[in-house]
Structure 1
Amino acid sequence: MSRRALGRGLEALIPQPAAAREGVRMVAIGDLRPNPKQPRKAFSEEGLESLAASIRNHGVLLPLVARPTAHGFEIVAGERRWRAAQRAGLKEVPVLVRQVEEAESLELALVENLQREDLNPIEVARAYEQLQEERGWTQEELAAAVGQSRPAVANLMRLLQLPRQVQQQVRDGALTAGHARALLGLPTAAEQCRLGAEVEERRLSVRQTEERVRRLRRAARGRKRPPQEAGGFAAQRRHLEEQLRRSLGTRVHIEGDAARGRVELHYHSSEELDALLERLLPG
């Protein structure tokens, strides 16, 4: 799919009302499967119940988009409608069946959710990362494909550098993307987690959080750095991550310091996991 088509979003797949509804058919609920690369991982219970009530009264007004597979159909766009239709007791739903390559499914699912503002910042960042890795795009190319500025894309993807605890706070809505970006100004994951918990507990604004970060950094400059930091491990971390990424062919994240920490290896499919294991366990 071209970037022009991706920028147009679902218009590239769903015909306008005046157009003939060729390709739209009723498909049994059980024959549909969610897209495993769906960017959105969390669905609001309240939102699903509200949509289910609407579907009971009015039906599914906008067809889902799905691609045929060996065992039925994989949803490209409309998983939320599919889930709500099940709650509403529907046996089948209208589906626009199109031949869509697997790599394009992620793009279209991302566009649909972005247009509806359904994704939290961490989900968007992970989807951007996955698109970039699968397509081999630069950040400039990725930004053009999703209709965002390069700085906006870069700032969002930086949130993936935060520890899991803070990322979960963003997913849950306890912290905004602005809070999370401010926490990136702290040098260690432990400090980021501590301040993240304080921000949530005290309900600090983004501006207050930024001021707390500045104070913590000033205080840290007045203290002697720990030996492992003085040895330059923090400065080496990104270089080590890049070396491992090139060697293993996947994104690598290192948390901790020179004495203790954790190395995370990322994969997005069983094929990528197999390839990673072959590199780690040769022979």
Structure 2
Amino acid sequence: MTGTTTHKRETIRVTAILAHPKNPRRKLGDLSELTASIKAQGVLQDLVVMPGGLKDTYIAIAGHRRQAAAKKAGLTEVPCVIREDLVGDEAAQIQAMLSENLQRSDLNVVEEGDAFQDLLDLGVKPAEISKSTGRTQKLVKERAKIAAAPEHLRSKLIAREATLDEVLTLQSFAKYPLIYEHLAEYIGTHNWAFKVQWAKDDVKRLQKIAKVTAELIAESIRVLPLPKDLAAYRLERSHTLGVNLYWSNEPSRPDDAAGSQDVATTFRHGNPDDLQWCRLLTEQDADDDTPTAQPSKPKPVTDTPPADTDEDAEKAATQLAADLATAAKVRRDHLAKVLHDGGDNDHDIATACLRATIDLALVGVDGDELDYVAELFGIDPADQTADDTERAILDRAQKFNLPQLAILLRLIEQAPAERLLATPYGWTPTGYSRRDQDTWRAEVGNVFGHEWSDVELDMLHRIEIHDGDEE
């Protein structure tokens, strides 16, 4: 035997209803229209409340805006449904509030994400949240990540100065604070896609540096990744030995690198594929012809930038090449997306591509071939220059739809073959253009549906006879 749970319905004083501390909805928004409606018609839908911790008090579960508007309208009491079953079950309370707000589309993505995270913190599984809210498990997990985002990013989301995808992408770099902070500066800008690709590449670089470092350390190699690490170790070693030491660059990995206290390796320009081997030498041992990685005395810091060195120029050139490669990756990803996914403007893109290709194709067409294309448009090229004829063709083509443009492009491309078909040479069974002529004749008959005349059929028959004799 089954039954349905019924809840008490009472009229409760407005002042006895308290806001729930975990209400997903943070702001009530503009209440003017709702207040006017309540003044005119009263509260048409019951609030949902549960008993509060103090006598004769209640906690709002659904209807926070109606309660606030009722106060503004001067009402002292509002109709309520009392949910005693929610007392002591915080997860059930949050789910009830969440369901109410989601049905009304009252929550922004930040409020929704906070509510999902509250439920996850209470041990509610994503599958349970999905079932009770109608949201997919993937969406629940993604939006819950917003709860960990900094407040300024959450504010940008609410103000629609950043998209949900942008914030979620940024959050995926949370384990890398420096990358995260740098990337956050570009959210909502035209440089966002470039910086995301840069961040992905930088994560790969850092992961590879960590891998190479671990492998070298396993061989008892001293790894000093950054220039400051080289400087610190040089000073430490100099102090230990009581002599001034220099870093001297080695052309390759020294044989005694493993276990040596005076040999180290570093990553040139932070590149995990470019190891620079260095050795500490005393002033007496240093070879004047050997370039040093660091002078014995540091240069004083001034407000004037130092002049560019060859190493600075090399570093700048390397960075420029890397940046252009990153930009190319982003650009090509975008082009691939346009190619495969299309979109609302794919028709416009296709039309623009065909027009550009037609424009380029016309550049290689002249003489009789250009006259043939002009003839397709009913243009008489006799009294105008080739440039004027091209412009006239392009002007007429502006009115063409996408299929017409595709056909026009093919006709222009095959103008040389079509020109030859107007002469006996275009029907000869031999010659360097035989293959092109065969292709065009096949298209004219099979694709364009042309019905051959007797003279053309006769020429085709001669070609068949020749090909038969050749076999």
Whether the TM-score (by the shorter chain) exceeds 0.5 is yes
Structure 2 residue identity aligned to 1:68: P
Contact between 1:68 and 1:74, CA under 8 Å: does it hold in 2?
Answer: yes
Deviation at 1:30, TM superposition (A): 0.8
Identity %: 24
Larger-Rg structure: 2
Contact between 1:186 and 1:213, CA under 8 Å: does it hold in 2?
Answer: no
Aligned to 2:84, what secondary structure does the other structure show? Answer: coil
* Matched pairs, number: 203
Note closer, same or farther for the CA distance 1:215–1:52 as it changes in structure 2 (3 Å cut): same
Note closer, same or farther for the CA distance 1:148–1:139 as it changes in structure 2 (3 Å cut): same
Distance 1:141 1:113 in 2: 17
Distance 1:116 1:106 in 2: 16
Confirm or deny that 1:65 pairs with 2:48: yes
Structure 1 residue identity aligned to 2:39: R
Match of 2:38 among 55, 66, 87: 55
Q: After superposition, what is the alpha-carbon deviation per residue over 1:107-156, rounded to whole angstroms, capped at 9, x for unaligned?
A: 1111111111212222212211221232x233233323332222121111
Gaps spanning 5+ residues in structure 2: where? 215-471
Confirm or deny that 1:116 pairs with 2:104: yes
Structure 2 residue identity aligned to 1:121: V
The one of the two structures with greater contact order (alpha-carbon pairs below 8 A, sep at least 6) is 1
Confirm or deny that 1:174 pairs with 2:161: yes
Distance 2:133 2:207 in 1: 45
Confirm or deny that 1:97 pairs with 2:82: yes
Q: TM-score, normalised by structure 2?
A: 0.38
Confirm or deny that 1:184 pairs with 2:184: no
Aligned to 2:379: none
Alignment of 1:197-276 (within 5 A): 197-200=185-188, 202=189, 209-218=192-201
Structure 2 residue identity aligned to 1:175: A
Contact between 2:117 and 2:147, CA under 8 Å: does it hold in 1?
Answer: no
Note closer, same or farther for the CA distance 1:58–1:191 as it changes in structure 2 (3 Å cut): farther
Aligned to 1:107: 95
Distance 1:54 1:167 in 2: 32
Aligned to 2:75, what secondary structure does the other structure show? Answer: coil
Distance 1:118 1:192 in 2: 31
Distance 2:42 2:181 in 1: 45
Alignment of 1:31-46 (within 5 A): 31-44=16-29
Deviation at 1:218, TM superposition (A): 3.4
Distance 1:24 1:190 in 2: 56
Note closer, same or farther for the CA distance 1:117–1:195 as it changes in structure 2 (3 Å cut): farther
Q: TM-score, normalised by structure 1?
A: 0.60
Distance 1:196 1:53 in 2: 43
Deviation at 1:167, TM superposition (A): 2.5
For the aligned residue pairs, the C-alpha RMSD in angstroms reads: 3.2
Gaps spanning 5+ residues in structure 1: where? 1-11, 16-21, 232-283
Deviation at 1:183, TM superposition (A): 1.8
Aligned to 1:125, what secondary structure does the other structure show? Answer: helix
Match of 1:77 among 62, 67, 76: 62
